[in-house]
Amino acid sequence: DVKVTQSSRYLVKRTGEKVFLECVQDMDHENMFWYRQDPGLGLRLIYFSYDVKMKEKGDIPEGYSVSREKKERFSLILESASTNQTSMYLCASSSARRNEQFFGPGTRLTVL
């Protein structure tokens, strides 16, 4: 069965902290994605990666960075968390040959 896991379901951090969100997929997918989801704004793409050590900016990359050192793992980093980064963060992966993206359970991040 397809499996995408995220390191935390819920996370509470303070303004200015460095935050790491980790995502692991076990499907040998080439592509991995990070989204945030906010009421009224839908799913917005932050960054994606189509290969190890490769990354591309999505629609809202400001304030975020990513790391992909291994094919199965894609990390999202908030260098200095701010309250406007309070959101649901969703990781997804897809095969280079097929187009469906498979999502993890999400991390609800609250920045105080």
Summarize as ranges the residues that interact with other proteins (CB under 8 A): 4, 31, 33, 40-43, 45, 48, 50, 58, 88, 90, 92, 94, 96, 99-106, 108
Residue 31 Cβ vs other proteins, minimum distance, rounded to whole Å? 5
Return the number of the residue (51 or 79) whose C-beta is nearest other proteins.
Answer: 51
CB of 24 to other proteins, least distance (A): 14
Which C-beta is closer to other proteins: that of 17 or that of 61?
61
How far apart are CB 16 and other proteins at their closest, in Å? 27
* Dihedral of alpha carbons 17, 72, 3, 62, sign: positive
- The answer to whether the CB of 4 falls within 8 A of the CB of 104 is yes
Please state, as a whole number, how many other Cβ atoms lie within 10 Å of the Cβ of residue 24: 18
Q: Which two tokens stand for residue 28?
A: 């040998």
* C-beta of 80 vs 110, nearer to other proteins: 110
Question: Least distance to other proteins from the beta carbon of 73, Å?
Answer: 17
